[in-house]
Chain A
């Protein structure tokens, strides 16, 4: 039932080849019979494995539909969808991305078509925008540490704890804390931008990051691998589902939802305005929003939010997210970032 063609797994490869032509998918998976009359092409900034249960369940309850799922890097996906919106690339039937701000911008630029259903109208207002963009998941931005390497007394529960660790004079954590490289990861940039709204905490955090030589690198998998192997002691602002999935198989890994505030990202989906199969794509959205769909995504922790409910800050789907994508705003934040994380010497 499932044929999986794994393309280049490393996210660096996308950056290396992307300069030449339009960006490419990192991996492709097919669900459902190939001879099915309906064929949905889903492009997602997501991990195929994490959506495997949900899409398998979808094709099981929706006969006659085949789903092709392409796995993309967030920024590449944004470029591709923007190109499709201009008519410069082939459109997909559904675009799913963890980079909510980029999704909001695509919808704001008129790249989506509306989809209305009973389930969609029941969504809370911060998970639906204009009947065009829908938040499918609950994925917290968490901290992960290695229980073996971080003493129990040091275990951070909040950003303030992390700050204290980074400010220690003896330099235990210098060069041993990792976070997303916000220039290459859309969702990393989104988290950083929203952190930057917390002016005082963010200022201290950036300053501490610089002092403690925090490592900015790409991709949840790589960062969590580093924590598992002991390369890093603590990872900051990584996506919950990856961390929880890894922690389930490794008792050394501890996932912490920061108790001061925990950003909760909702992977946002829209149907492109030129989608060939908007009907089946809508059916897929509806399934993912339904109880069976949410349950299937819970298997891969996509809808699991640990931690105190009071501290949760769901990120609303709203034009406010456009601010972070403003050219100058982005330059200013990236400039600050580059000063904090000087480019690694080759």
Chain B
């Protein structure tokens, strides 16, 4: 028996619906599993408005599926890939919940700082998740664990190089990458959060710590606001 969700004999009335063409407002009929349909009036091909492509963030067949999607969704590939990196990092860390928590916090801070610094958000978030995966590794400069995760997820080679360059700067990598400052600042903020949790007296000298560890202007102001709230 086929999956009832995919077998049209089990579909109810809501499985077939009409949506207006965004170009000419002509009504176009969609089946729930159509990714796109062409408008019969103006010929414009547009995306099924009721289809949720969020599944591509974790599905192992996303690469094949996204290949058939329209350009506006293919452009989201890097954005979806960052969510798959998050899951892969979590699986890599298994039950090391302290490092899992630190990775999640780093990514949250990096997202805020990156919005002001205008970097490549997807690369920044991937770097934030993968930041300390190779720490303590003899071959840390080459980032074997981070590279393996990105390769397994079939990340494009230029993106792998970009993410690894962001991470590698902490181990003495060459050049000055703006995105590195964003992730380094987010890592410093996550470390400070942990330090305060372990020793609340650190909060009293927070300004000095921020001056010493946070490099970007946006990171400074974000961290001040964050630690004032706590």
Query: Does B bind A?
Result: no
List residues of B whose CB falls within 8 A of some A CB: none
